[in-house]
Structure 1
Amino acid sequence: MLGHTTDGLLARLVEFAHSASPTQILGIALLTVVAISYLTNKKDKNIPGVPIHGYRSRFEPTFLLQARFVMGAHKIISSGYQKFKDVPFVVRRFDTDYNILPIRYLEELRLVPPTILSSKIATSFNMLYEWTNLHFLNRSDLHAHVMKRKLAPELSKYLEIAADEVEYGWKIDVPQSDDWIEVDIQEITRMLVARMSARIFVGEPACRDPEWIRVCLDFTIDAFTTAFLIRMFPPWMRPFVAWFVPARNRLKHHRAKAAKVVGDKMEKHREYMQRKKNGENTDDYEETLLDWMIEEANEEEATLEEMANRQLIMTLASVHTTSTNTSIFLFELCEHPEWFPMLREEIEEVNQQTGDASRTDIKRWHRHLDRMDSFLLECFRFHPPILLSPQRVALQPYTMKDGTHIPKGCRIAFANGEHQMDPEITPDPLKFDPMRAYRKRQSSEQQYDRNQAVLTDLNNNLTFGYGNQACPGRFLGVAEVKFLLARLLSEFDFKYPEGKSMPKTMYADENVFVNPSAKLMMRKRKVN
């Protein structure tokens, strides 16, 4: 789920390379040389007897294998899957070893509690929590709890609120040109999704504060850049390396702004609760996810610092993933323009049946967009946000039914991208077939229920994880994607600039993202 959020990472790395002083560059080079001996001899807690994959020869130093993983993880994981599909194997990242398990183990592990195998701790470790100030992830999942228990039951209400915010931002963020113009579609979708998320998470006036919207976008990039760079070095070197990472300093600014926004909202919440206690009318108060977290939080979780950091991690998990999925859909649609008429026809049919999204329950409305949903699933298959998902950290030793022993501290993951491209799972997997899931859904009632973008399924969709630790925000995210796409496709034409086509996929370790410089041409539709 977090892979696509690295879409600005390369730009930050290039910025650093051009702006760093000779002293900083020399410092990084010297520290790299010093680290080689550590990296070469590094040991991790792996499943006993599992082969380590990726060495070109028995003489290749470990640090070279780890360095190749940075931009070539997809090749290492792919060749490992082909060689060891039915048995565990290990791939090496600079900061950790990943034990890649066969997909068949997922069914057994899906209900193992997070006190034994934790997705949350895996995310915390990946984000290098001690250097990005995300310590709270290790001790609390308040935000996930609130999304499951509060947001999901009232999803219709909050989708309506999000749609209202899109209406506000539409003429600000979306060019209204009658002629073809080149646009940064990724920035457009990021802005719209950031506005929706901000309205749901913290409400007005913060959701219309340009500085807060910018923080919602830049925090993700700076947090990933910080973690990506610092984790290349051993723990004892990180205090020195951190000094050379400008993105880490920007995180302090983001936290300060978050504290201001959240502090103001917490004060309004106290006033709201006092009015309710006094029996006053509070219909003018719009509850947000932050209000619910304040009410559900224990004493430790209720501090301003923790609430502010929690808002930042929620934007990290939602804004870039949702916006990137929207952009990729449009990129693939422009690559396969023969599907424009069918998708627009479906949108018109659903609007006639239920009313358009501005006049009906969006939660119910978007579920009728079966062809769009199928197209989205095929985009997920070709463009997974992360190559290794789900991921877990073993907080306690665990032995599986076949005797495979996962020691405490072991990092496990599944090669979801390769699994979705396996011809034994997906016939003709290299063909982009956007109606693949649609045909399955029409074959039987059982298949209709299984082949949906919001659902996690062993053979159809692992984009949002699997089992009892799957992404709790997926229902909101998919609904937002389809809402934005329906409006964009109804109001605008899209195509690639002359000579351009599907943008190149890029990699940063196991994370996947689209070339951030990719553009589209766009104009208002000429409807007869």
Structure 2
Amino acid sequence: MASNVSIVYALLSVFVVFVFSKFVNHRAQMSKLAAIPTLGSSGFLSSYLSAFRFVYHARDIIQEGYQKHYNSAFKVPLLDHWLVVVCGPKMTDEIRKATDEQLSSAEAFAEMLQTDITMGKTLRADPYQIGVILNALTKNVPARFPEVHDEMKTAFNDLIPPGEEWVKVPVLKTVLNIVCRTTNRLFVGLPLCRNEDWMDLNIFFTVNVFARASIINLFPTYLQPFVGWLITPRPASLRRAVKHLQPLFEKHFGLEGTTDDIDPASQSNNLLLWLWRQAQEGEQRTLNDLAMRVLSVNVAAIHTTSMAFTNALYYLAADPKLAEMLREEVETEVGRKGWTKNAMDGMRKLDSFLKESQRLSGTSAGTGFVPNLFFTY
């Protein structure tokens, strides 16, 4: 009996400390943001009611703030922080001109996804995988484009078989699988890109990084590492990734392997190879480190592309005339240039449609970070 009472007192003590720390954090944030008008309530407890309302009515709340505070800023309470929204050309131009030291989207991304906990500190300490994406990956897309096109066709045929009847398709689930297969044809090649467990791992890890980070962000900073240790999918996911990437790693970088004479059009010219070439000697060239970076690149590719793809499909479903116009442009460009990157570059209407779709759905919103302050525009 006494032990049960002790447990209850211990849990109560933890709860009291947790609530008190949230209260102190709320007061500290409010003192910095006091001059910015609030949409909803700004009280310690009542702000959580406004935060729950934002979950279901975000578009309406942002629209209201835009109309009331155009060319200014306003703040909205979220469950884990205050969201400061700026609108109008005057304010957004100031943010656009900010230096990386003043405003860093990388820091905002790391804060939002708790990358030190969900993906490991080494990825942020030396994020060379970003340079690999911007340079090596972009440079090699034209040579590998036929493979990407082949995988996209195969994925569509497998997941949405051709037929004459209308069928129900779970859009986001299907898109996640198509995007995962297509991007991994470029990242790791056949047959791994079609491996069910590899696909499940990358989709699971992507979804859970966002979900677990949202939970971790609800806790005070000093508790976040402990909470992350309890719920992060990183250790188990890394073990699965290493198991799948081990054969590729040994083929490229074993005693018999070489990275000097790989054909750019070969599927051996993949993400693992690009990361290896950019990595420093030592820890960065271990399979564990490379595998974690492959997972992190998949998180960025799968989440961003899947959300943009899904929203674009919804807009096409709402206005089928757009599909006819875009199909005509695609057929014209492909008829002249074949399924190549040059043909894709010539699809101006498609490019415009996708950009507008992202603008309307909010997936193109930029987020920046200044110490203790978020901007979204």
- TM-score normalised by L of structure 2: 0.82
Query: What's the offset of the Cα at 1:64?
Result: 3.9
Q: CA deviation at 1:294?
A: 0.6
**Aligned AA (1:301):** Q
Render the CA deviation track for 1:57-97: whole Å, top value 9, x for unaligned: 76864444444444444444333333333233333334333
Structure-1 separation of matches of 2:328 and 2:262:
49
Contiguous gaps of at least 5 residues in structure 1: 1-26, 395-408, 416-528
SS at match of 1:91: strand
Q: Is the counterpart of residue 119 in structure 1 residue 100 in structure 2?
A: no
| 2: CA distance, partners of 1:269 / 1:59 | 56
The verdict on how the C-alpha distance between 1:282 and 1:34 changes in structure 2, with shifts beyond 3 A counting, is: closer
Residue of structure 2 in register with 1:293 after alignment? 275
**Which stretch has the larger CA shift, 258-267 or 212-221?**
258-267
The match for 2:293 among 287, 300, 310 is: 310
Partner amino acid for 1:410?
N
Pair 1:154–1:412, CA change in 2 (3 A):
same
Please give the alpha-carbon distance, in whole angstroms, between the structure 2 residues aligned to 1:336 and 1:272: 57
- Indicate the SS of the match to 1:413: strand
Separation (CA, whole Å) in 2 of partners of 1:127 and 1:235: 14
SS in 2 for 1:53: coil
What are the ranges of 5 or more consecutive residues in structure 2 without an aligned counterpart? 1-9
Match of 1:134 in 2: 120
Q: Which of 344, 364, 367 is the aligned partner of 1:391?
A: 367
Q: How does 1:299-448 map to 2 (within 5 A)?
A: 299=281, 300-355=283-338, 357=339, 361=340, 363-385=341-363, 389-394=365-370, 409-415=371-377
For residues 231 and 178 of structure 1, do their structure 2 counterparts lie closer, same or farther at Cα, with a shift above 3 Å needed? same
Letter in 2 for 1:190: L
1:169 is aligned to 155
Which structure would you say has the larger RCO, counting Cα contacts within 8 Å and 6 or more residues apart?
Answer: 1
**CA offsets per residue over residues 355-389 of structure 1, 9 Å max, x none?**
3x1xxx2x211133233333323322321227xx3
Please give the alpha-carbon distance, in whole angstroms, between the structure 1 residues aligned to 2:265 and 2:308: 35
User: Amino acid of the residue matched to residue 75 of structure 2?
Assistant: V
Whether the 8 Å contact between 1:69 and 1:93 is mirrored in structure 2 is yes
Structure 2 match to 1:453: none
2:215 is aligned with what amino acid?
A: L
SS in structure 1 of the partner of residue 198 of structure 2: helix
Please, which moves more after superposition, 188-197 or 341-350?
341-350
**CA offset at residue 287 of structure 1?**
0.6
> Closer, same or farther in 2 for the Cα pair 1:393/1:328, shift >3 Å?
closer
Closer, same or farther in 2 for the Cα pair 1:381/1:46, shift >3 Å? farther
How far, CA to CA, are the matches of 1:216 and 1:319 in structure 2?
A: 8
Q: Among residues 130, 145, 169, which one is paired with 1:183 in the alignment?
A: 169
Deviation at 1:179, TM superposition (A): 2.3
The one of 211, 215, 227 aligned to 1:229: 215
Are the counterparts in 2 of residues 393 and 412 from structure 1 also a CA contact under 8 Å?
yes
Displacement of 1:165 after TM fit?
2.3
Question: Aligned runs of 1:416-495 on 2, under 5 Å?
Answer: none
> What is the DSSP-based 3-state SS (H/G/I as helix, E as strand, rest coil) of the residue aligned with 2:346?
coil
The separation in 2 between residues aligned to 1:181 and 1:28, in whole angstroms, is 51
Query: What is the CA distance between 1:210 and its match in structure 2?
Result: 1.1
**What letter corresponds to residue 85 of structure 1 in structure 2?**
Y
Give 1:195 shift.
1.1
1:40–1:61 CA contact under 8 A, matched in 2: no
Alignment of structure 1 residues 12-27 onto 2, 5 Å:
none
8 Å Cα contact 1:46-1:410 kept in structure 2: no
Query: Aligned pair in 2 of structure 1 residues 181, 370: CA closer, same or farther (>3 Å)?
Result: same
Residue number in structure 1 paired with 2:41: 56
| Secondary structure of 2:313 counterpart | helix
From the superposition, tell whether residues 303 and 384 of structure 1 become closer, same or farther in structure 2 (CA, over 3 Å): same
Structure 1: distance between partners of 2:24 and 2:41 = 17
- 2:183 and 2:263 map into 1 onto residues whose CA distance is 27
- Whether 2:252 is the aligned partner of 1:260: answer no
Report the equivalent of 2:130.
144
Q: Whose helix proportion is higher, 1 or 2? A: 2
Contact 1:88/1:99, CA 8 A, preserved across alignment? yes
Equivalences for residues 68-217 of structure 1 within 5 A: 68-102=53-87, 103-110=89-96, 112-217=98-203
CA contact (8 A) 2:132 2:274 kept: yes
CA distance in 1, matches of 2:123, 2:90: 29
Q: In the alignment, what sits opposite 2:3?
A: none
Alpha-carbon shift at residue 243 of structure 1 (Å)? 7.8
Distance 1:34 1:243 in 2: 20
CA distance in 2, matches of 1:281, 1:393: 41
State the Cα RMSD in Å: 3.5
